[in-house]
Amino acid sequence: MSHMGNKISETIISSLLTFKLILSLNDNWETYVTSNKYEVREVEKREVAKMLCCMDPERGGYSVYICVECGEQKKVPHSCKSRICSSCGKRHADEWAEKINKEMYAVPYRHIILTISNKLWIYFEGNSQMQKLMLDTAGEVMKEIVRKFNSQKKKAEPGIIMVLHPFGRDLKTNMHVHMLMTEGGLTSSGEWVEMPYIDYKIIRKKWQYAILTALRKANPKDQELKRIIDWCFKERTNGFNIQAKRRIEGKTKQAARYMARYVRHPAIADSRIIGYDTQNVTFVYEREGKTYTVIMEKFEFIHNVIKHIPDQNFKMVRYYGIHGRRAKRNVREVMEKLGKVIKYIIKPFSWQKNVAQYTGKDPLKCKKCSGKMEIYKVVYRNRNGELKEYGNLDKFIKKIAVRGKVTDEKEKAQTKFEAIKAAGFYQLCLF
């Protein structure tokens, strides 16, 4: 029985493990920051600080909702929107997928992954300028391939949505680029040119030549880099590895969601963390149908998670060709005439709908009387870290009066609200 009990306890503990919890236990984050082994960037401190306040009403603020029928209150803690928070990353990915789906066209797309030699990763890791160079070079290579190698030999401009992915499933650096690219392009005369066949050998060699040339130009005095580049040309005669097998046709929403996984997703999902013994963290990852287990020293684990946070204002997502921001408006008009615009209404993100979708329950349906709950006030921290409130009784009364289509009967609404207060207004539940 004791052995079974231990197994159950281990299962419960592993199910509660999160990256946030590991940072909080044993003063791990404070010790990591004050140690000299790893240099901690300001953006890392900021993103971790936000995550540690996620869904904590006292530290991150909250919103108060009130049932307009019975006066029951609910306090909803605020999310953090940190780049390393699993739950907030999921929300951001959902929002991004909705936005991108609206911008995609009714043409076939292909999911393409461009990689580089692991000997070159060090030149891109933690260097936003070099990471931008990688994305821009990849965009130019793919535009050139569509322009020169489409069957009609016409100067057609493809649409490319690109995401930089700097890590692998094992948390180690693995610089590569994911993109969604149209199978074809638009000419200056407004003609859509199909390109269903793409020669992968051409992509491999052109990508290798372009990125190595760009690297050499950006670092002309680096002799070690020169030796690595010479080695790449000599040993990788077929070019760098790429993947371009997945054709996406008529399923832009699925494609957008697939790409969204790489947009603002933390380096590791909490579900993959299975053990922590105060010194080491155990996590799992899958590759080609096999599951691998990794045991990593806790500070190395923290480092490998947060080092992939991009620098402030660095754009991990880039748009090229007809998806470029400058061309977007004019191109959309032409594509609409060609009948290649997706008729899609973007749905604004709603935490209420999101919770209802995943739990099957409406969080703003009063548990007491099943009435509808309306927002009453918001408590938030300003830039100075001070708790501030927005909203008051007068605003709330005006709101329910307007929604009840009785804008000229504010006194009636206030009378009803006073009755709610008398009936037990200050019952509070925490979501």
- The pLDDT tens digits for 57-75 are 888 889 999 888 888 889 9
Which residue would you say has higher pLDDT here, 258 or 375? 375
| Percent of the residues in the chain that have a pLDDT greater than 90, as a whole number | 47
Q: Given phi > 0 = left and psi -120 to 50 = alpha, else beta, which region is 382? A: beta
Q: What is the mean pLDDT of residues 199-224?
A: 95
Distance CA 260, CA 310 (A): 16
For the chain, give the percent of residues with pLDDT over 70. Answer: 83
CA distance readout (Å), 338 to 101, 186, 189, 382: 18, 10, 12, 49
Rounded mean pLDDT of 243-261?
70
Residue closest to 180 by CA, chosen among 345, 321, 313, 325: 321
Residue 11 has pLDDT above 60, yes or no: no
Task: State the sign of the Cα–Cα–Cα–Cα dihedral 258, 260, 262, 268.
Answer: negative
Which residue has better confidence, 5 or 123?
Answer: 123
- Smallest CA-to-CA distance from 331 within 105, 96, 100 is with 105
User: 404 near 69, Cβ under 8 Å?
Assistant: no
Residue 426 makes CB contacts below 8 A (sequence gap 6+) with: 73
35-55 mean pLDDT = 90
User: CA dist 365 to 73, 78, 371, 400, 431, Å?
Assistant: 11, 19, 6, 16, 12
Query: What three-state secondary structure class fits 289?
Result: coil
Nearest alpha carbon to residue 24 among 302, 386, 418: 302
Residue 283 has pLDDT above 60, yes or no: yes
pLDDT band at 9 (very low <50, low <70, confident <90, very high): very low
Q: What is the pLDDT of residue 426?
A: 41
pLDDT tier for residue 341 given thresholds of 50, 70 and 90: confident
Q: What is the mean pLDDT of residues 279-302?
A: 94
| Residue written as token pair 């603002």 | 264
Q: Summarize the confidence of residues 111-118 as an average pLDDT.
A: 94
Using 50, 70 and 90 to split pLDDT, how confident is the model at 321?
Answer: very high
Residue 10: pLDDT over 70: no
Residue 19: alpha-carbon gap to chain centroid: 17
Separation of alpha carbons 46 and 310, rounded Å = 12
Could you tell me the pTM of the whole model? Answer: 0.80
136-170 tens-digit pLDDT: 999 999 999 999 999 888 999 999 999 999 998 89
pLDDT at 303 over 80: yes
DSSP string, 171-212: SSEEEEEEEEEESEEE-TTS-EEE-----HHHHHHHHHHHHH
pLDDT at 402 over 70: no
- pLDDT, one tens digit per residue, over 346-362 is 566 677 877 887 788 89
pLDDT band at 300 (very low <50, low <70, confident <90, very high): very high
DSSP string of 31-95, one letter each residue: HHHHSSSSPPPHHHHHHHHHHHTTT-HHHH-EEEEEETTT--EEEEEPP---TT-HHHHHHHHHH
Higher pLDDT, 392 or 66: 66
Q: Has residue 424 got a pLDDT over 50?
A: no
- Per-residue pLDDT tens for 74-88? 999 988 888 888 878
The answer to which of 244-248, 399-403, 416-420 has the lowest mean pLDDT is 416-420
87-108 pLDDT, tens digit per residue, is 787 777 777 777 787 888 989 8
Q: Is 390 helix (H, G, I), strand (E, B) or coil?
A: strand
CA of residue 307 relative to chain centroid, distance: 16
